[in-house]
Structure 1
Amino acid sequence: MLASRPPASPGRRRQVGPCCINPRGLDRFNELLASLGQAVPLACDQIVTAARLLEDEPGAPLAPPPCIGLRLAGAEPLARLAVDEGWEAGGAPLKDVQAVLHYLLSPDDLIPDWVPRVGRLDDAIVIDRAWPRIGEEVAGYLDFCRLRLLEAGLRGERPGRFRFTRDEWRVSRQAEAELRAHQRAVRAGSYLPAGANRFRVH
């Protein structure tokens, strides 16, 4: 989505659509990325170049390109994850999730969200940089929601109307893994060829 390194000479381009990237805003943006593990700050020219390339991609004139939409979709569970009492997120993953959410919901971001096609480019960059640190937490939470929904079906209750914690999710996940292993073993056993000595001609 972005060039791996800034251009050799300082770029002067700052225009993304009808808007101009603010230098102070870029500094704040890079501070956030650094807190999420970005080692090298992004140059304005990198962002502008990426925006122009994405604007030129075929697609609906107002819809974000797939690479942006994919990252936004991946971040959709973050708000629920942060407040779900059953999941009990905490520590560094929760801090990073909250930092991403704060940026996504802030009206004062690097590129205004209303800019056609690329208004969420900066949001996608933040999600992309944070993902190595929060991706495992998000995947775990989605599986937690899946198993909680299964448990709700077994109980005949709605999710959230009964206690289902992170520890109970771990127990359920282990039980599910053991059941699948047993089912695989049964299937494999049912297809084993019979021994030759079991067939006799009299």
Structure 2
Amino acid sequence: MFHPTPTAQPLPFDHMYSGMAARDSAGSIPLADAAVVQFDQLLHEIHADAPRVDADRLQQLAAWLIALPSGEAHEVIDTRLRRVQELRAMLADEDWDIDEAARARIGKLLAYIDREDDLIADRTPLLGQLDDVLLIELAWPAFADEAEDYRDYCAYRQMQHPAGAAPERRAAWVRDRMDELALWQHMLWVREQHYAPWNLPRTLFRVS
């Protein structure tokens, strides 16, 4: 089953399995079991269907990140943190009427990311924000649709400059997108039609 991710290149977390003695690997980082449990609980408060997080899978992910070339490893971190900036902008945008449940989920995510004393200390070289980006990655399905709609609205607002107050600008976006969808559905319907009825008899004319 497809799960939305914040970037086109998902973290390999779903392909890592616990019980592989990853704690003794070269990428091992100190993790308190109680802190891992709290991290997992927070994740599932934000997105109840997220996969479970345990210390071994975190260690395996850390080892994977360390093994990447430096530039690629930092890109893994930075691309996901950039999506978080979009979430911050969405919460602050008066044009976007986000519901309270989604706002609360995003608020929990941002509160964790803004902490420095979280599961992995932010001052840890390279790995300091691994827990942050893992939380972003695994919780993303909880607000992926909202984030993508907001990204589309921002592009529309920049190009079309809709007039009016905030509710009117957003209503214009919805109206125009619905019109585009109706046009696309019509074009698809026309494309699937035959120029002549498909059930006409094969021999239309008889020459005597």
The normalised TM-score by structure 2 is: 0.68
Following the alignment from structure 1 to structure 2, what is the Cα–Cα distance between the partners of residues 107 and 37?
A: 25
Q: CA deviation at 1:135?
A: 0.7
Match among 19, 32, 35 for residue 22 of structure 1: 32
Does the C-alpha gap of structure 1 residues 117 and 64 become closer, same or farther in structure 2, counting only changes over 3 Å?
A: farther
How far apart, CA to CA, are the structure 1 residues paired with 2:171 and 2:86? 20
**Superposed counterparts of 1:58-77, under 5 Å:** 58-60=69-71, 64-77=73-86
For residues 173 and 181 of structure 1, the distance between their equivalents in structure 2, rounded to whole angstroms, comes to 12
Confirm or deny: 8 A CA contact 2:62 2:130 kept in the other structure. yes
CA distance in 1, matches of 2:121, 2:102: 27
* Paired position in structure 2 for 1:87: 96
1:57 corresponds in structure 2 to 68
Distance 1:79 1:133 in 2: 15
2:17 is matched with 5
SS at match of 1:77: helix
Match of 1:102 among 111, 119, 141: 111
Q: Is the 8 A contact 1:6 1:42 kept in 2?
A: no
- Structure 2: where are the runs of 5+ without partners? 1-11, 192-208
Question: Residues of 2 paired with 1:93 and 1:15: CA distance?
Answer: 39
Contact 2:22 2:59 in 1 (8 A): no
Alignment partner of 2:124: what SS? coil
1:119-169: per-residue Cα shift (whole Å, max 9, x none)?
2111111111111111110000011111122233x76xxxxxx52333332
Q: Secondary structure at 1:20's aligned position in 2?
A: coil
Instruction: Output the CA distance in 1 between the equivalents of 2:95 and 2:19.
Output: 47
Alignment deviations for residues 58-111 of structure 1 (CA, whole Å, 9 cap, x no partner): 124xx7444333322332201011121210111332222111111111222111
- 2:175 match: 171
Residues in 2 aligned to 1:146 and 1:123: alpha-carbon distance in whole angstroms: 27
Question: How many pairs are equivalent?
Answer: 174
Measured after TM superposition, the shift of residue 43 of structure 1 is: 1.8
| SS, match of residue 132 in structure 2 | helix
Could you say which residue in structure 2 is the equivalent of 1:31? 41
Cα distance in 1 for residues equivalent to 2:69 and 2:23: 27
Structure with the bigger percentage of helix: 2
State the Cα deviation string for residues 26-59 of structure 1 (Å, max 9, x = none).
2211111121225553221211221122112112
Q: How does 1:127-138 map to 2 (within 5 A)?
A: 127-138=136-147
Call closer, same or farther: CA 1:164–1:171 in 2, change over 3 Å: farther
The residue aligned with 1:145 is 154
- Identify which range, 36-45 or 73-82, moves more after superposition: 36-45
- Aligned-residue sequence identity (percent) comes to 25
- TM (norm. structure 1) is 0.70
> Matches of 1:55 and 1:25 in 2, distance apart?
22
Is the 1:147–1:169 Cα contact (8 Å) retained in structure 2? yes
CA distance in structure 1 between the partners assigned to 2:158 and 2:147 by the alignment: 17
CA distance 1:58–1:121, change in 2 (3 Å): same
SS of residue paired to 1:108:
coil
